[in-house]
Amino acid sequence: MVLLAIAVALAAVVRWLRNDVGRATLFADQTYHHQALRALNHVPAGGADVSEVLEATRHVRAGDADAWFAAWTALGDRNRARAEATRDSHSRGLALLRAHTYYLRAEFFLAGDDPRRPPSYARNTAAFYAGLDALGVAYERLAIPYGDGDGDGDRDARLNAVFYPAPTAGPLIVFCGGIDSTLEELYFFLVAAARARGYAVLTFEGPGQGAVLRDHGLRFTHEWERPTAAVLDGFLARHPRPPAIVLVGLSMGGYLAARAAAFEPRIDGVVAYDVMFDQGAVVRRDAPRLAFALRRLGLERLVDLGARVRAAFSPGFAWRLATGRWTMGRDRPLDVVEAFAPYTLAGVADRIRGDVLVLAGTRDQFVPVAQVDQLTRALTRARSVTTRVYDRASGGSEHSQLGASTLWQADFFDWLAERFGPR
């Protein structure tokens, strides 16, 4: 009997070991997984540590925005305290950059008008620039007069930009984000890697992003050539014109950057990182045809109720709806959907005449990979079109190749050198 019990126990252990395989996601909910992976994405640039991120996510249940905020805020506090207690300036700078990342992640799932957002945002930006100073990173902060052409914000508004100079002349990389980007986080996506290779980078945030949204109330515009032109005007008023200007757009910036390149002749090359041919089509997937039929019948309140019910059970949908309301200045769900309708490159992409690099992931949870073909077919006048589509085995199949920054950066810098020459 004892031997039988031992045999059964050993068999159970063997079966457990065979089934003890790793998992590909940090959360079953894709949106919460994506945001945790977003922090891990910044490890190569010094913006996070792996074990810290895993410890933070261990205390959070997907859909619990308050627990998420508390866990990441505590992680930011610990790193800020560590920085204050550290004598070595390099270690102090890295601790501050990690604090920035964790404070920024903390507020991600909060509503736009949540009172915890402003102090959290102030903590993350203060930690970021203090971190750069401690590390001795050269940078120049620019405030670009912009005003308010749409009448929905501050007429004295300014766009924000940060210029990271290079020791020698070469192509200038201009980098903008997407629907949830902030100016400072762009450093970890590309700036640190570009500086290591000797490139100058100009990052900026426009209407709907970062402090431009929070401080001035400016919402997104699909005519991204307007803020882009303002930033280039402001930069070139202070600096000599570089031999080439390459605009890179992150996430929804894949649409924004391509749109700007279609109308701004000073842009010599554009990178859709990653592809976003039709943002309106992406958003419409959240709205079934029945919803618009109910609106036509005067029953839009049923649509609103359905959206609230869905948001209660889907953290990803809840975030998308709340973010759309905040950044687009709309309230009702179908109004948010319709606000994104102009965000398409159909009838626009054929105006792009420079070199184009299109990146995409086969498992992108936001953008169908079919939009790669839609965009490349529309680029009929581009000087050259290069595409890179990453599969799961490569590690780059997530939206914006999160977690595989060195993968897409290798392709980007090879393309940059091939098309625009050495630094």
DSSP per residue over 180-233, as a string? T--TTTHIIIIIHHHHHTT-EEEEEE-TTSHHHHHHH-PPP-S-THHHHHHHHH
Q: What is the pLDDT of residue 410?
A: 97
pLDDT tens string 270-292: 999 999 999 999 999 888 888 88
Q: With a cut of 60, say whether residue 150 has pLDDT above it.
A: no
- Percent of residues, the chain, with pLDDT higher than 70: 92
pLDDT tens string 201-250: 999 999 999 999 999 999 999 999 999 999 999 999 999 999 999 999 99
* Residue 8 pLDDT class (50, 70, 90 cuts): low
Q: With a cut of 60, say whether residue 385 has pLDDT above it.
A: yes
219 and 206 Cβ atoms separated by less than 8 Å: no
How far, in Å, CA of 41 to CA of 182, rounded? Answer: 15
Q: What is the pLDDT of residue 289?
A: 86
Q: Which of the pair, 350 or 290, is modelled with greater confidence?
A: 350
Which amino acid is it at 336?
Answer: V
Residues 6+ apart with CB under 8 A from 76: 98, 99, 100, 102, 103, 106, 123, 124, 127
Query: How many helices (DSSP H) and strands (DSSP E) are in the chain?
Result: 18, 8
Count of C-beta atoms within a 10 Å radius of residue 289: 8
Q: How far is CA 17 from the centre of its chain?
A: 38
Structure tokens at 247: 């605009």
Q: Which DSSP helix (H) or strand (E) runs through 72?
A: helix 65-84
pTM of the entire predicted model: 0.92
End-to-end CA distance of the chain: 76
How far, in Å, CA of 387 to CA of 367, rounded? Answer: 15
How far, in Å, CA of 204 to CA of 273, rounded? Answer: 16
Please confirm whether the linkage preceding 274 is cis (ω < 30° from 0).
yes
* Residue 294 pLDDT class (50, 70, 90 cuts): confident
193 and 179 Cβ atoms separated by less than 8 Å: no
Pairing of strands 200-205, 355-361: unpaired
387 and 352 Cβ atoms separated by less than 8 Å: no
